[in-house]
Amino acid sequence: MIPAAVGVDIGCGMLAAKTNLKRTDVDTQKLSDALKSILRRTPVGFQQHKDKNIHWDACHLFEKELEELLRREPDVLKDMKSRHWTNEMGTLGGGNHFIELSVDENDDLWVMLHTGSRGPGNVMASFFIRKAKALAQANNEDLPDWNLASFREGTEDFENYMLATNWAQRYAFVNRQEILADVMKSLADIWPGIALEGEVINCHHNYVAKETHFGEDVWVTRKGAIRAQAGEMGIIPGSMGTLSYLVRGLGNAESFNSSSHGAGRKMSRTQAQKAFTIEDLRRQTEGVVCRQDKGVIDEIPSAYKRIEDVMANQTDLTEIVHTLKQVLCVKG
């Protein structure tokens, strides 16, 4: 198992949930009020909850396994002290993480969000990436890049890494659920009768899972990819201000039942900050209530690939069920 292949945001993924509201129920003023209401309840960027027990009902489920991990790998605790894991439950983060309200082709309003395992997942991933590299170097392994350093199945290091990874993946999954609950409370301040309808889609796109492919049990690492088994629902978002898609997997065996998770960057953040202006950002996010300042210029749609091209190139992997257009976007 290669820890660097999963990356530092273990369990990063998407959630989408349909509400009982229609496009006609929202206007610019209500969306602006909703943005403020969400930001009052949900920490974004580097912010954490001040009360470490605010999401304790969700967090206590993770305590026993975390204690076991820290017993096996006590050095992980050193890096976790500055960012208490309970304070980060129910927080969004920054970068390309977001909370959105979007409208589908039927004018139904959806809540969609993108986040992962936050600081705790980052700490665990970084620790095991360093450990794998140190082990490879100590064993004089011939690797073209130290980021390919791995743990062999059956070893203590492998077991400890998988304990941490499974913990972080579950933490990320629940984090998205907790944010959804808080967002619904925030939206109820604006639309008192709002409620969820139907299935909530919650899927990872940076994770590890043991699966059976071509008659063999294997470990599958999906980095920037969702599982797309036949009939399985998934989420493929575009960039801020563009379309997003709710899809159904086609179960393509050649792709290991996988699909891309989104548009993907075509420019680095630094390149985007140099190439575009606030006016460019305003023009490309017209019609969306969102931040339009220099702090998010690197998230401008032109810094990403066209999501329409991405979808056209994977018609053998997924089929589109709903097409969503943002009306509100919350960024860290």
User: What is 104-156 written as a DSSP string?
Assistant: -TT-EEEEEEEE-SHHHHHHHHHHHHHHHHHHHHHTT---SSGGG----TTSH
With CA atoms as reference, report the closest residue to 100 among 185, 207, 14, 178.
Answer: 14
- Give the SS3 label for residue 322: strand
- Give, in degrees to the nearest 5, the angle at Cα 195 between 192 and 197: 160
CA distance 117 to 12: 6
Residue with tokens 């409370």: 185
38: part of which helix (H) or strand (E)?
A: helix 28-41
Pairing state between β 318-331 and 289-290: parallel
- Residue 97 catalytic? no
With CA atoms as reference, report the closest residue to 182 among 49, 86, 288.
Answer: 49
Residues marked active site are found at 261
